[in-house]
Amino acid sequence: MQHKYKIHKNDNVEIIAGKDKGKRGTIVRVFEKNNKGRVIVSGCNIVKKAIKRKSQQDAGGIAEIEAPLDISNVALVCKKCGRPVRAGYKLDGDKKTRVCRKCGEAL
Protein backbone atom coordinates (compact mmCIF):
# COMPACT_ATOMS: atom_id res chain seq x y z
CA MET A 1 0.00 0.00 0.00
CA GLN A 2 1.33 3.42 -0.98
CA HIS A 3 1.48 6.08 1.70
CA LYS A 4 -0.16 9.47 0.97
CA TYR A 5 2.07 12.44 1.80
CA LYS A 6 1.04 16.07 2.24
CA ILE A 7 4.20 17.30 0.50
CA HIS A 8 4.21 17.36 -3.30
CA LYS A 9 6.60 18.29 -6.10
CA ASN A 10 7.31 22.07 -6.49
CA ASP A 11 6.26 22.87 -2.88
CA ASN A 12 8.31 25.44 -0.96
CA VAL A 13 9.77 23.77 2.12
CA GLU A 14 12.19 24.45 4.96
CA ILE A 15 14.53 21.84 6.40
CA ILE A 16 13.80 21.48 10.12
CA ALA A 17 16.44 18.87 11.07
CA GLY A 18 19.89 17.80 9.95
CA LYS A 19 23.03 19.49 8.68
CA ASP A 20 21.09 21.94 6.45
CA LYS A 21 18.59 22.99 9.15
CA GLY A 22 16.99 26.34 8.31
CA LYS A 23 17.65 26.21 4.55
CA ARG A 24 14.72 26.63 2.17
CA GLY A 25 14.13 25.24 -1.29
CA THR A 26 11.60 23.59 -3.55
CA ILE A 27 10.82 19.89 -3.82
CA VAL A 28 12.40 18.39 -6.93
CA ARG A 29 11.24 14.81 -6.45
CA VAL A 30 9.29 12.69 -3.95
CA PHE A 31 10.20 9.02 -3.45
CA GLU A 32 7.34 6.88 -2.12
CA LYS A 33 8.82 3.41 -2.65
CA ASN A 34 8.47 0.92 0.23
CA ASN A 35 6.77 3.55 2.45
CA LYS A 36 10.14 5.26 2.99
CA GLY A 37 9.11 8.85 2.32
CA ARG A 38 12.14 10.72 1.01
CA VAL A 39 12.40 13.97 -0.91
CA ILE A 40 15.04 15.85 -2.88
CA VAL A 41 15.15 19.58 -2.09
CA SER A 42 16.84 21.92 -4.56
CA GLY A 43 20.16 23.26 -3.30
CA CYS A 44 20.11 21.29 -0.04
CA ASN A 45 21.83 18.16 1.31
CA ILE A 46 24.67 18.39 -1.24
CA VAL A 47 26.99 15.35 -1.24
CA LYS A 48 30.05 14.47 -3.29
CA LYS A 49 29.81 11.42 -5.53
CA ALA A 50 32.49 9.73 -7.63
CA ILE A 51 31.45 9.57 -11.29
CA LYS A 52 33.02 6.92 -13.50
CA ARG A 53 34.26 7.90 -16.93
CA LYS A 54 31.95 6.30 -19.53
CA SER A 55 33.72 7.20 -22.78
CA GLN A 56 36.62 9.23 -24.16
CA GLN A 57 34.52 12.42 -24.29
CA ASP A 58 32.80 12.09 -20.90
CA ALA A 59 34.84 13.38 -17.99
CA GLY A 60 34.79 11.40 -14.79
CA GLY A 61 35.65 12.76 -11.37
CA ILE A 62 33.85 13.97 -8.29
CA ALA A 63 30.44 15.60 -8.73
CA GLU A 64 28.22 17.34 -6.20
CA ILE A 65 24.62 16.13 -6.22
CA GLU A 66 21.50 16.66 -4.10
CA ALA A 67 20.84 13.60 -1.93
CA PRO A 68 17.39 12.58 -0.66
CA LEU A 69 16.18 13.69 2.79
CA ASP A 70 13.61 11.98 4.97
CA ILE A 71 10.19 13.57 4.49
CA SER A 72 9.86 14.08 8.25
CA ASN A 73 12.81 16.51 8.19
CA VAL A 74 11.07 19.06 5.96
CA ALA A 75 8.07 21.32 6.60
CA LEU A 76 5.88 23.25 4.18
CA VAL A 77 6.30 27.03 4.11
CA CYS A 78 3.07 29.06 4.05
CA LYS A 79 2.97 31.91 1.52
CA LYS A 80 1.03 34.16 3.91
CA CYS A 81 2.72 33.29 7.24
CA GLY A 82 6.21 32.95 5.75
CA ARG A 83 7.21 30.25 8.22
CA PRO A 84 7.14 26.43 8.31
CA VAL A 85 3.67 25.09 9.09
CA ARG A 86 1.71 21.86 9.12
CA ALA A 87 -0.79 21.18 6.37
CA GLY A 88 -4.44 20.37 6.86
CA TYR A 89 -7.27 19.71 4.44
CA LYS A 90 -10.47 21.59 3.75
CA LEU A 91 -13.38 20.25 1.73
CA ASP A 92 -15.06 22.65 -0.72
CA GLY A 93 -18.00 20.63 -1.99
CA ASP A 94 -16.30 17.62 -3.54
CA LYS A 95 -12.89 19.28 -3.90
CA LYS A 96 -10.17 18.70 -1.28
CA THR A 97 -7.50 21.42 -0.84
CA ARG A 98 -4.46 21.71 1.42
CA VAL A 99 -4.55 24.61 3.87
CA CYS A 100 -2.20 26.14 6.44
CA ARG A 101 -3.13 25.09 9.98
CA LYS A 102 -2.02 28.47 11.39
CA CYS A 103 -3.85 30.94 9.15
CA GLY A 104 -6.14 28.82 6.95
CA GLU A 105 -4.55 30.05 3.70
CA ALA A 106 -4.57 27.59 0.77
CA LEU A 107 -1.20 25.97 0.11
For the stretch 45-99, pLDDT in tens is 999 999 998 888 888 899 999 999 999 999 999 988 888 999 999 998 889 999 9
Confidence at residue 56, expressed as pLDDT on a 0 to 100 scale: 82
Going by pLDDT thresholds of 50, 70 and 90, the confidence category of residue 26 is very high
Q: How far is Cα 18 from Cα 16, in angstroms, rounded to an integer?
A: 7
Say how many residues make up the chain.
107
> At a CB cut-off of 8 Å and minimum separation 6, what does 40 contact?
27, 28, 29, 31, 66, 67, 68, 69
Cα 49-41-82 angle, rounded to 5 deg: 150
Q: Which domains does the chain have, with CATH numbers?
A: 12-100 (2.30.30.30)
Confidence at residue 64, expressed as pLDDT on a 0 to 100 scale: 93
Comparing C-alpha atoms, which of 77, 95, 78 is closest to residue 41? 77
Q: How far is Cα 103 from Cα 68, in angstroms, rounded to an integer?
A: 30
Confidence at residue 105, expressed as pLDDT on a 0 to 100 scale: 85
Confidence at residue 35, expressed as pLDDT on a 0 to 100 scale: 65
What is this structure's pTM?
Answer: 0.81
Distance of CA 23 to the CA centre of its chain: 12
